Amino acid sequence: MIQQTIGFIGGGQMARALAAGLVRGSLTSAERLVVFDPVATARGEFAAQVPGVRLLADNRAVLAAADVVVLAVKPQSIGSVMGEVRGGCDSDKLLVSILAGTPLARLVDGLGTSRVVRVMPNTPCLVGAGAAGYALGPGATRPDADLVGQLLGAVGIAVEVPESLLDAVTGLSGSGPAFVYTIIEALSDGGVRAGLPRATATQLAAQTVLGAARMVLEGGEHPAVLRDRVASPGGTTIAGLQALEERGLRAALMAAVEAATKRSVELSQGKG
């Protein structure tokens, strides 16, 4: 069990999902979690989702009470938050940022501490199936990295990467759920065209994607190996795969990740 008190500056969906995952996974107790959000509704939803969490009066109170502070505010609010908490950031506290497009250099300069970890989570963490990447600031230690891995592991998987690759993580796993939703919708459309009821087609499509993903993650085999096992000579699957190749599915998905990565770089450079 994690012994440190964990504080959340910002109580939105991602913060609530992370807190709930920590408690659900018995990595900590709700009593070791503290949070502040200026929006009363957000505070109420946090308390409802994580019963026992301590709601504090402001950001400075969170900083004073916590050993690990998760910055979970909207990116446009980070400037004012930095000004508010800068004086309380010292080397005894680990700062974990889940803000999109906010590089470590800006966090270190604005917070006045280099013990910072930048995280790129994705929305499936809301159902405990997230895929996150994280990068260490210059003052973060190996135990800090292990702790962040534990925190993120409560709601999915997490990989440590150099900060230069966080934009690629954004393009792949950050934007990727939207690409997969499009694939599920298209598979469902294909099922409907073949005569299945819409609800049945969508259920089968979603479960097929889930099952295939689990086989990749749990079996440890390359996707191509698994694909070839399904594609028997002269069968239905190879006919479908030929149609995908003719219409450029593989190239389209690669281009989508590349485009999302490029846009992430632009946003982190302040190009609106």
Q: What is the CATH number of the domain that holds 187?
A: 1.10.3730.10
Q: Which of 128, 162, 196 is the last residue of a domain?
A: 162
Read off the pLDDT of each residue in 7-15 and give the average, rounded to a whole number.
Answer: 95
Instruction: Give the whole-angstrom CA distance, residue 1 versus residue 138.
Output: 27
> Residue 75: which domain range?
6-162
Residue 167 within a domain = no
User: Which residue is associated with the tokens 């500056």?
Assistant: 9
What is the widest separation between alpha-carbon atoms in the chain? 69
* In a shared domain, residues 53 and 140: yes
Phi–psi pair at 177, nearest 5 degrees: -55, -40
* In a shared domain, residues 75 and 202: no
Q: Which of 136, 162, 188 is the last residue of a domain?
A: 162
Q: How many CB atoms lie within 10 A of CB 176?
A: 20
SS3 242: helix
Number of domains within the chain: 2
Residue 248 within a domain = yes
E-assigned strands of 25-85?
A: 33-36, 54-55, 68-71
User: Which residue is associated with the tokens 């109170």?
Assistant: 61
For position 85, what pLDDT does the model report? 87
Query: pLDDT by residue (tens digit) across 107-137?
Result: 999 999 999 999 999 999 989 999 999 999 9
Query: pLDDT by residue (tens digit) across 31-53?
Result: 999 999 999 999 999 999 999 99
Instruction: Give the whole-angstrom CA distance, residue 219 versus residue 205.
Output: 21
* In a shared domain, residues 33 and 119: yes
